[in-house]
Structure 1
Amino acid sequence: MSDITVRSLGEDEWEQYRSVRLSALEDSPDAFVASVEEERAYDEDFWRTRMRRSQRLIAEQDGTAVGVASVGQARHEGERDNEKVAELFGLWVAPSARGTGVATQLVQAGADAARQQGRSHLAYWVGVDNGRAVAFASGFGFRPTDSRRPMRVQGAGDPEDEVAMVLPLGEDRGVPRF
């Protein structure tokens, strides 16, 4: 198996991000807030705006996208932004690359990006009943917080809760409010 590289996408690479995002929505429709049909209909202006709003990371193997994640400003409904906290979201790995370390590389790149932005923590929302995701995040160093919210995914009849897990990025080991 050849090396996997992770890099940040620029605004002009919106079509590449769009392609891998649509692949993620097709493969795992129950894991995302949006639907593939909805996002396929968006125009170039929408995708360029999305690229500017958050940092988009892509994992590639032999020039083929095998994973994606985004890093943006952490927010909590009803409260103002916590400028010191970044949020990792939209993490997806192609089925052919699962179990090969792609997710770890994407999360590490997300943590590095957040640190470079001057953030003290990286937040990652995980379904409380998704033992595999909780174990992955915990193994990476994320710790659960008291913050919970209903999972916001497509087609969720009675959605489970998700928990904010937080990774300290520097000397501040405290847990920020969400």
Structure 2
Amino acid sequence: MSEISVRELTEDQWETYRRVRLAALEESPQAFVATYAEEEAYDEAFWRTRMRRSRRLLAEVDGRSVGVASLGEAGPDSPTVAELFGLWVAPDFRGAGVASQLVQAGADTARREGRTHLAYWVNTDNGPAVAFASGFGFRPTDSRRPMRVASEDGDEEIAMVLALGQDRGMPTL
């Protein structure tokens, strides 16, 4: 396989982000709060605002968009913690290191911004996702919340945290 590259998209690249985001919503609708129909209808102003709210990381192989992740604020009570969210990899590229490259790029960006930790919310029943995050170095916290996507089983998410420097303590989320 060719080399995986990850780059941060600018506001002016909103159409690229829109295209890969819609592909993610179409392929894995159960993984996201929004629906394809909702987001497909949004106009340019919406997408530009979204680009300014959080950093959008795009993974590419040979110029083809193969994955995406977003990096934002964990919350007002956690100013030293960045949050990784919206992670998606195209099915043909799963297991090829794309997710790891996206997470590493998110961690590197957060570290450069002076963040001490990176948070990542994972469905407690999603063994592969928990294993992936654990293998990357994320550690589970006591923070739980109901799944933000539709779930009939009352599933919940767990905040997993990656220390980005010397501070190995668990931040409040």
Matched, 1:105 2:106: no
Q: 2:157: which partner in 1?
A: 162
Letter aligned with residue 82 of structure 2 = A
Q: CA RMSD in A?
A: 0.8
Q: Does residue 20 of structure 1 match 2:15?
A: no
> Can you give the 5+ residue segments of structure 2 that lack an aligned partner in the other structure?
none
User: What's the counterpart of residue 171 of structure 1?
Assistant: 166
1:33 to partner: Cα distance: 0.6
Q: What's the offset of the Cα at 1:159? A: 3.5
> Equivalent residue for 1:67?
67
Q: How does 1:80-91 map to 2 (within 5 A)?
A: 80-91=76-87
SS at match of 1:8: strand
TM-score by length of 1: 0.95
Q: Which residue of 2 aligns with 1:51?
A: 51
**1:148 matched to 2:144:** yes
Whole-angstrom distance in 1 between the partners of 2:153 and 2:43: 32
Q: Does structure 1 conserve the Cα–Cα contact (< 8 Å) formed by 2:77 and 2:172?
A: no
In the alignment, structure 1 residue 130 sits paired with structure 2 residue 100: no
Compute the displacement of 1:157 (Å): 2.4
Q: Shift in Å at residue 82 of structure 1?
A: 1.0
Segments of 4+ moved more than 2 angstroms: 155-159
Matched letter for residue 46 of structure 2: F
Structure 2 distance, partners of 1:81, 1:52, is 21
Give identity over the alignment, percent: 71
Instruction: Give the drift of 1:151.
Output: 0.7
CA contact (8 A) 1:152 1:159 kept: no
Deviation at 1:81, TM superposition (A): 3.2
User: Partners of 2:89 and 2:148 in 1: how far apart?
Assistant: 20
* CA deviation vs aligned residue, 1:47-101 (integer Å, no higher than 9, x gap): 00000000000000111100000000002xxxx3311000000000000101100
Partner SS for 1:119: coil
